[in-house]
Structure 1
Amino acid sequence: MGKQEQLEILNALDVAKTQLYHFTAIIIAGMGFFTDAYDLFCISLITKLLGRIYYHVDGSPTPGSLPPNVSAAVNGVAFCGTLTGQLFFGWLGDKLGRRKVYCVTLGLMILCSLASGLSFGRTPTGVMATLCFFRFWLGFGIGGDYPLSATIMSEYANKKTRGAFIAAVFAMQGFGILTGGVVTLTISGAFKDKFKAPSYSVDPAGSTVPQADYVWRLILMFGAIPAAMTFYSRMRMPETARYTALVAKNAERAAQDMARVLQVDMEEQGRKIIAPAIAADDTKNYGLFTKAFLRRHGGHLLGTTTTWFVLDIAFYSQNLFQKDIFSAVGWIPSAASMSALEELFRISKAQTLIALCGAVPGYWFTVALIDVIGRFWIQMMGFFFMTVFMLGLAVPYGHWTAPGNRIGFVVLYGLTFFFANFGPNSTTFIVPAEIFPARVRSTCHGISAAAGKAGAIVGSFGFLYAAQSQDKAKADWGYPAGIGVRNSLFVLAACNGLGLLFTLLVPESKGKSLEEISGEREEEEDDPAAPTAIAPAILSS
């Protein structure tokens, strides 16, 4: 027997009916993404508070703010850790198995979320340095969650609803962003009401109460709770049958794991079918750095990395610095007119509204329609409308910043989030988990995701530079307020346009088995045709 028999047994997974275990896997993997999003995006809510607590200068006419280099480090260091973790754990997931390293990533997230809230130091610089240290390792754990969660869900799912299952895991990111806003809103509101403080313009010394230092710590530490809730469940997850059969070559364990997932007795038949296949010639199992991989999947990897890179430049710029955008258009009053906790309350309120009305619905539109419309067209549509709405904000920017038109700005801005999530922010996560062979699937997803985080780093530092350019332009040349934001919107629109172009390199995977998409079936085209009744026989056992 050749590999074809080995692949045919995996049809049992492809055609299996949706079962309780599928939803359990979505919750277990999805809770990791919930935590990922909460931890990555909650930092943007508290940066202004950190500036007012640690960098206030007595007698200054304006509230304190983080120095540009500190702000860049606090916002961007987790992305550096995430990029590193995606590459490392993606590779490790293919070498050791998905399950073995899955709990390590979650453990890192729990410990570093708690440690971030306990950041210490005798000086402001010391506190920020400690915070950045723990945020890096938090990002490292988050990075591992990307390739492992996507790969595990894709290998558990049937081909009919695989896209919806992976999208549902990723959609938990929307709830994580929303929860970040709600938790910040709740904590800041409670402290704001209990420890009332005047605006900075009325009393600079008293506008930031000492208790504000507890607020940002509690917000960061909350991220450990959802991760801890699913740690035990992750430890009990079995290895995916596809990895065991196609990579580890363990016939008995593959049959056992498939039986656990499909809830049918196939252990004995699994041994009969898989064992001979494992002994078959394996010389065609090409690796990542080979001409065969380059010929078959080089264009695909280029497509997944470039689209994720340009998408994250736009997506993370919008998320991390939306508070600055809202301030620039006057939706949030100036810092001097509020106390520190009041400012945090208003920022979190704005982010919660955008997440609730724009981000979260977009994720679930993808879940509902991805196996109907397909990955390719959803990604094309998302990039197209993101480009249109970004230009719609940038071209008439003066119109949107005028009093009376700011609600229109917020609506268009929210629509860019909707089509990011009902578009490339979801599909760039899904497709790399489907189109590459099992032996390099986690690695290739990690590479694609790392390219995305490189884009996030570019976006976070780039937007900071644009904001500094705006301040300098106003000071030196008298340019109108908001010119840096307007130029940034043009750049983000261009990034989305490039994403539209590079999407042409990404194949459609709707309705196909993983082995058919990745070409693992084609590798054995020269072998005699295998019996086609194997999978139905297994399912009827």
Structure 2
Amino acid sequence: MPLTSHRTVEDDELANQEVANPNLQPPAQPRAGGYKLGSVGTIFASGSAMFSDGYSNASIGPVNTILAIVLGDAFTKHDKAVLSAMAFAGMVAGQLSFGYVSDKIGRKIAMFICTAIIFVFSILSSASSGSPQTIVKCLIAFRFLLGVGLGGEYPAGSVTAAEATENNDIKKGRQQRLFIWATNMMLDFAFGIAWFVALVLLWIFGMNHLRVVWRGTLALGAIPPLILLVARLFMEEPQAYKKNSMKHAPIPYLLLIKRYWLKLLAITWFIYDWITYPFGMYSSTITDMAAPNSTLYETLGWGCLINAFYIPGSMLGSFVSDWIGPKYAMITGLLLQAIFGFAMSGAYNQLTNNGSIAGFAVMYGIFLACGELGPGNNLGLLASKVVGPTAARGQLYGVAAAVGKIGAFIGNYTFPYMITSFGNRSEYLGNTGIIWVGSALAIFSAIITFFFIPNIGPDYMVREDEEFREYLAAHGYDVSQIGEAGYKAHDEIPYDPELGHTRSDGSDEKHHEN
């Protein structure tokens, strides 16, 4: 019986076009199960939860300022320190616990749970009621639980965003900036927006309705996670996770520690979070010291302006990270931050003459912007890509991020006491002491980064996963267990030599920078 050909005219035309142009790819077919986000959409849907992180942590700054007015003596300095720091304690718990969920159950499920937690406890925080002491206790409890959801987004959402940047349809010269735009820039936008929201609510409701202002500032933090819940319905697990996960295989922790222990010990994230979060959250306290007679409107306005400086620093730094690599971009930002910090402290009296703090606010904003250009952009990027292989990246990244949030917790808890301690020595040190300390720590971080953090290029995680497989095989581990059931390499987006993408087998042909 003769074989029957089922080729159509369209098939013949496509074959002729492929002969004429071997680089031509067949038209994309819709994926089973309906519409799904592409790689860029996945990066932003995964990483943009950092907006909730930034908003929730920055909003407590103006809220603390307002609560001090509303609650009076019932809101003590100790309450202020605990309330500011409590979200970071919850974040440590979330980072450590959801790292395991992200690796062993799935990135998408972990992100859904975290987003739901953020939504619920943002609402409950704004609804805290009762006596002044009860309000403070409720806020502390809800802030801790909110922090659990925020912390879980690091090993779930940020890791997914990092893995999606190395999908085959992302240009090599854009991998780092896309991750930064979806994560740290979202966080930075949130820092400025949190203060602006508080200022707008104050404009609307005035000084006689401050309870509406602080409750509204916290309640509006529930909107971003609600939007993300919808976007994440259309996500798929990253290709790297499908190919390299150990969902159904034992994770060899001893081999992991043996290979990656030094990267986990790097303390730059601890130092950076110790500096950055307190400086952002206490910007109202710092401007109050520079201009002690400011009205609440002026205090919130200066806080909004200062936090807005994060954004241009992060935007410029996102390109620098692709141009010279994340390691050297981080060192550059740290050194610039130290220079501006020392200059701002040394010229403090001149910058705040006659109660005018415009010069001080600009210098302080540049100080924060340099921090974003360097470690703000690149610490999360390096930790998510360098700290370990895809199979255990959620857990290892969660540990690294938890170390950073311990630094943020300590910084936020100790900042008020440091300000008081410096002030007991002299008025000048009371106003500049923490800036001297932050600038010195920036130099120390640059030294640690230079000696202990590797620089990375495009497709670093792809190569690391292949090397990790070889490492496991050399130590007798059955690597055939790795990967999700049913996953095949040809499920990945085909290689495009014009974009310089990596083939699904991990080999490279071209390495275009853009």
Same fold (TM over 0.5): yes
Task: Pick from 86, 91, 95 the counterpart of residue 100 of structure 2.
Answer: 91
The SS at the match of 1:510 is coil
Task: Pick from 118, 135, 158 the counterpart of residue 150 of structure 1.
Answer: 158
**2: CA distance, partners of 1:80 / 1:537:** 40
Aligned to 1:116: 125
Task: Give the conservation status (yes or no) of the 8 Å contact 1:120–1:127.
Answer: yes
Aligned to 1:32: 49
Q: CA RMSD in A?
A: 2.7
Summarize the alignment of residues 170-181 of structure 1 with structure 2, pairs less than 5 Å apart: 170=183, 171-181=185-195
The SS at the match of 1:422 is helix
Task: Give the conservation status (yes or no) of the 8 Å contact 2:246–2:391.
Answer: no
Aligned to 1:329: 290
| Matching of residue 510 in structure 1 with residue 473 in structure 2 | no
| Matching of residue 355 in structure 1 with residue 337 in structure 2 | no
CA displacement at 1:132 relative to structure 2? 0.9
Aligned to 2:31: none
| Matching of residue 227 in structure 1 with residue 225 in structure 2 | yes
Aligned to 1:276: none
Task: Pick from 232, 237, 240 the counterpart of residue 238 of structure 2.
Answer: 240
Aligned to 1:269: none
Q: Deviations over 1:65-93 (max 9, x none)?
A: 83111111111111111111111112221
Summarize the alignment of residues 214-363 of structure 1 with structure 2, pairs less than 5 Å apart: 214-248=212-246, 287-288=252-253, 290=254, 292-303=255-266, 306-330=267-291, 333-334=293-294, 338=295, 343=296, 345-356=297-308, 358-363=309-314
Task: Pick from 145, 156, 175 the counterpart of residue 162 of structure 1.
Answer: 175
| Matching of residue 373 in structure 1 with residue 338 in structure 2 | no
Q: Which amino acid aligns with 1:498?
A: F
CA displacement at 1:480 relative to structure 2? 4.1
The SS at the match of 1:483 is helix
| Matching of residue 393 in structure 1 with residue 350 in structure 2 | no
| Matching of residue 485 in structure 1 with residue 485 in structure 2 | no
Describe the shift of the 1:249–1:142 C-alpha distance in structure 2 as closer, same or farther (beyond 3 A).
closer
CA displacement at 1:248 relative to structure 2? 4.2
Describe the shift of the 1:183–1:296 C-alpha distance in structure 2 as closer, same or farther (beyond 3 A).
same
**1: CA distance, partners of 2:490 / 2:64:** 58
Task: Give the conservation status (yes or no) of the 8 Å contact 1:37–1:174.
Answer: yes
**2: CA distance, partners of 1:445 / 1:145:** 11
The number of residue pairs the alignment matches comes to 441
CA displacement at 1:45 relative to structure 2? 0.8
Task: Give the conservation status (yes or no) of the 8 Å contact 1:82–1:143.
Answer: yes
**1: CA distance, partners of 2:64 / 2:251:** 47
Task: Give the conservation status (yes or no) of the 8 Å contact 2:43–2:164.
Answer: no
Task: Pick from 401, 406, 411 the counterpart of residue 357 of structure 2.
Answer: 406
Q: Give 5+ residue unaligned stretches, structure 1.
A: 1-16, 57-64, 193-207, 251-281, 474-478, 528-532
Q: Deviations over 1:403-445 (max 9, x none)?
A: 3773332222111111111110111111111121112111111
Task: Give the conservation status (yes or no) of the 8 Å contact 2:58–2:191.
Answer: yes
**2: CA distance, partners of 1:517 / 1:497:** 30
Q: Which amino acid aligns with 1:232?
A: V
| Matching of residue 520 in structure 1 with residue 468 in structure 2 | yes
**1: CA distance, partners of 2:421 / 2:396:** 37
Task: Give the conservation status (yes or no) of the 8 Å contact 2:47–2:161.
Answer: no
**2: CA distance, partners of 1:403 / 1:442:** 52
**2: CA distance, partners of 1:66 / 1:178:** 25
CA displacement at 1:240 relative to structure 2? 2.1
Aligned to 2:443: 497
Task: Give the conservation status (yes or no) of the 8 Å contact 2:52–2:225.
Answer: yes
TM-score normalized by the length of structure 2:
0.80
Task: Pick from 48, 70, 85 the counterpart of residue 76 of structure 1.
Answer: 85
Describe the shift of the 1:537–1:219 C-alpha distance in structure 2 as closer, same or farther (beyond 3 A).
closer
Aligned to 1:126: 134
CA displacement at 1:313 relative to structure 2? 1.1
Task: Pick from 423, 427, 444 the counterpart of residue 378 of structure 2.
Answer: 427
Task: Give the conservation status (yes or no) of the 8 Å contact 1:77–1:136.
Answer: yes
**2: CA distance, partners of 1:228 / 1:31:** 12
Summarize the alignment of residues 174-193 of structure 1 with structure 2, pairs less than 5 Å apart: 174-192=188-206
Q: Which amino acid aligns with 1:51?
A: A
Summarize the alignment of residues 428-447 of structure 1 with structure 2, pairs less than 5 Å apart: 428-435=379-386, 436-447=388-399
Q: Deviations over 1:173-226 (max 9, x none)?
A: 11111211221121111112xxxxxxxxxxxxxxx52x2211110110001112
TM-score normalized by the length of structure 1:
0.76
Q: Deviations over 1:95-120 (max 9, x none)?
A: 21211211000000000000000002
Task: Give the conservation status (yes or no) of the 8 Å contact 2:96–2:399.
Answer: yes
Task: Give the conservation status (yes or no) of the 8 Å contact 1:329–1:482.
Answer: no
Q: Which amino acid aligns with 1:287?
A: P
Q: Deviations over 1:254-298 (max 9, x none)?
A: xxxxxxxxxxxxxxxxxxxxxxxxxxxx9xx8734x2x4344322
Task: Give the conservation status (yes or no) of the 8 Å contact 1:359–1:414.
Answer: yes
Task: Give the conservation status (yes or no) of the 8 Å contact 2:85–2:410.
Answer: no
CA displacement at 1:484 relative to structure 2? 2.3
Task: Pick from 51, 63, 75 the counterpart of residue 46 of structure 1.
Answer: 63
Task: Give the conservation status (yes or no) of the 8 Å contact 2:344–2:363.
Answer: yes
Summarize the alignment of residues 16-31 of structure 1 with structure 2, pairs less than 5 Å apart: 21-31=38-48
**2: CA distance, partners of 1:398 / 1:346:** 20
Aligned to 1:273: none
Describe the shift of the 1:524–1:85 C-alpha distance in structure 2 as closer, same or farther (beyond 3 A).
closer
**2: CA distance, partners of 1:175 / 1:239:** 27
Task: Give the conservation status (yes or no) of the 8 Å contact 1:81–1:137.
Answer: yes
Task: Give the conservation status (yes or no) of the 8 Å contact 2:162–2:384.
Answer: yes
**2: CA distance, partners of 1:187 / 1:534:** 53
**2: CA distance, partners of 1:106 / 1:447:** 20
Describe the shift of the 1:537–1:414 C-alpha distance in structure 2 as closer, same or farther (beyond 3 A).
closer
Percent identity for Structure 1 against Structure 2: 24
